[in-house]
Structure 1
Amino acid sequence: MSNTIYIGYNFKVQPLQPAVEILIAELGYAGFESFVENEDGVTAYIQKEEWNQDILEDVQILNSKEFNIAYTFEDIEQTNWNAEWEKNFNPIVVDDTCAVRAPFHEKFNVQYDIIIEPKMSFGTGHHETTHMMIQHILKNDFKDKSVLDMGCGTGVLAILAELKGAKPIDAIDYDNWCYLNSLENVERNNCKHITVIEGDASVLKNKYDIIIANINRNILLQDMATYISCLNKNGMLFLSGFYDDDVALITSECEKHLLKFEEKLERNNWVSLKFLN
């Protein structure tokens, strides 16, 4: 890897939030593998052999009228990603109960202490949607419940579900980097009941007491029928990855499948919903 060449894109973003979070998520889907946030925006890295001149074609936020995003890019020699990431990742504590930290952070005196090394994967707990999903898990009974973590990213939600007594747990992500990262984090947290699977909704075949899906509005709407077909009677469905403006659309789709709305959490205009089957 010592001779690997990367291309670094420097994005200047105004206003910063929530644009930077959305931009990172979309760049991840496009193939970028490492991100470093800064006071002006974010620098994103992709291996040169994975790059093509249309790499940003599907990054929709670049065409948004809500944000002003400019960028430059250049070839970069191999970077010490761990050192870059260490400088930019801070631990978090959710509701004084669950900590999400890196291996190099000191342990927190909380009930649930989770160690995550996210690399490029989405889901460190810093983003509003992951934070709210953690809150949902903390508030609800997961003891001996079968769980699906759909779009698992780093695996942090599946790991917390096991810490709360859930089993068995399937953690699924279509992105190979997220799949490998979840495997690492599951092992790092000594989890015994999580099966990590690479794929999308088409690989679903089991039934679950609880389904967690923190993805985005379009994927949720597209795959909702599949999720619900996998949800046991009296099961719980937790959804996030969308804005408050999308709640009516999401709720309508769930109610069409006879789910009952139970609870809404909101954080900086991002929303997480709970439904009962």
Structure 2
Amino acid sequence: MDYLEFKIKCLDEFREILIAEFSMIGFDSFLETEEGIDAYTLESDFDRPAFNAVIDQYIVPAEISLVEGVMPKVNWNEEWEKNYDPIAVDDLVYVRASFHPSKPEFKYEIVINPKMSFGTGHHATTFQMLRHQGKIDHQDKRVLDVGSGTGILAIMAQLLGAKQIEAFDIDDWCVDNGNENFDLNGLKTRMELGTIREVNPQGEFDIVLANINKNVLLDEMDIYVDLLKVNGYLLLSGFYTEDIEDLTNCTMPLGLELISKESKDNWAALILQKKV
């Protein structure tokens, strides 16, 4: 099956927003370029009306121009090696690919070869989730990573001392890639395939991590709460700053207290604690 390729020129500040928007409508790989992003999706997964809606929404404010093409499946490791730079989350963790040199001056280090998956630490949501994880005691805790992607948050949980980690994703590409990344980082957990209802994890968990999108979070929130221990933590991201009120309006009646919130590039991240 061939891939559709969209070479998109846009303003710098809209790169992350467009990556997130396209990831929500079936795009499964992205490369950041000097002029914008290259976005890829299988022909069978392409939703033209949804794609056009995103372009129409941002074409003026982001100054978008694009070129469409078709390409066969490629060696994504080679493509990422050309375009993927390591990142540092404060002085907490250094995220790099296997072809980058190590930096032992950081407290923690994660090796991610992302291939087709979303979640390298470059996006503001992943960056903030890693930062928030650093604020929560993971030692000997049981952790659930919902929509794990590359597995980066599950790997961070292990580095922070979690004793048991469960992870899953709805995309089989992510599951394959996530398990490869688990192996690179010495994580024995195997990522499962499916939604939270299909995987049906059994609580209780000390920490639940969910970096997805607003609609999925709202739909699954009661499940997260049921899986959490009293005084357990729910870390959320994947939504815009202006969506915080909708999320907290959903979580407060479920016994969750807002502990912390952050925003980066208009993407928000929350730490909530189950009180009842």
Q: In structure 1, what is the Cα distance between the partners aligned to 2:201 and 2:45?
A: 35
Shift of 1:11: 1.9
Q: Secondary structure at the match of 2:50?
A: coil
Distance 1:32 1:273, change over 3 A: closer
Match of 1:250 in 2: 247
Report the CA distance shift for 1:104/1:165 in structure 2 as closer, same or farther (over 3 A): same
Q: Which residue of 1 aligns with 2:155?
A: 159
Residues 1:168 and 1:68: Cα distance change in structure 2 (over 3 Å): same
Offset, 1:41: 1.9
User: In percent, how many aligned pairs have the same letter?
Assistant: 42
- Once residues 89 and 75 of structure 2 are traced to their aligned partners in structure 1, the CA distance between those partners, rounded to angstroms, is 30
- TM-score by length of structure 1 reads 0.89
Tell me the SS of whatever aligns to 1:195.
Answer: coil
Q: The residue matched to 2:49 in structure 1 has which SS?
A: coil
1 CA distance for matches of 2:24 and 2:245?
26
> Quick one: structure 1 residues 7 and 263, their matched pair in 2 at CA, closer, same or farther if it must change by over 3 Å?
closer
Say whether 1:268 aligns with 2:265: yes
Q: Which runs of 5 or more residues in structure 1 are unaligned? A: none
1:157 CA drift (Å): 0.5
CA distance in 2, matches of 1:21, 1:274: 22
Contact 2:80 2:114 in 1 (8 A): no
Q: String of CA shifts for 1:176-219, please: whole Å, max 9, x gaps.
A: 11111111100111112x23111112123311110011111111
Look up the match of 1:64: 57
For residues 100-146 of structure 1, what are the alpha-carbon distances to aligned partners after superposition, in whole Å with 9 as ceiling and x for unaligned? 10000000112211100111211111111111111111121001111
Whether 2:168 is the aligned partner of 1:168: answer no
Contact persistence 1:173–1:198 (CA under 8 A):
yes
2:216 — aligned with what?
Answer: 219
In the alignment, residue 154 of structure 1 is paired with which amino acid? T
Within-5 A mapping of 1:35-184 = 35-47=30-42, 50=44, 55-59=47-51, 60-65=53-58, 66-76=61-71, 79-109=74-104, 110-184=106-180
Q: Structure 1 residues 273 and 33, CA, compared in 2 at 3 Å: closer, same or farther?
A: closer
Q: Is the 8 A contact 2:115 2:177 kept in 1?
A: yes
Whole-Å separation in 2 of the counterparts to 1:262 and 1:5: 46
Distance (Å, rounded) in 1 between the aligned partners of 2:187 and 2:75: 29
- Of residues 234, 240, 243 in structure 2, which corresponds to 1:237? 234
Whole-angstrom CA distance in 1 between matches of 2:28 and 2:170 = 15
Q: How many residues align structurally? A: 268
Distance verdict in 2 for CA 1:77–1:238, change over 3 Å: closer
- Taking only aligned residues, the RMSD between alpha carbons, in angstroms, comes to 2.0
Compared CA separation, residues 22 and 204, structure 1 to 2 (3 A): farther
Deviation at 1:38, TM superposition (A): 1.5
- Structure 1: distance between partners of 2:151 and 2:201: 20
- The Cα of 1:5 is off from its aligned counterpart by 4.6
**Aligned residue in 2 for 1:197:** 192
Mapped partners of 1:205, 1:86: distance in 2: 35
Distance of 1:267 and 1:6 partners within structure 2:
31
Cα distance change of structure 1 residues 246 and 75 upon mapping to structure 2, 3 Å threshold? closer
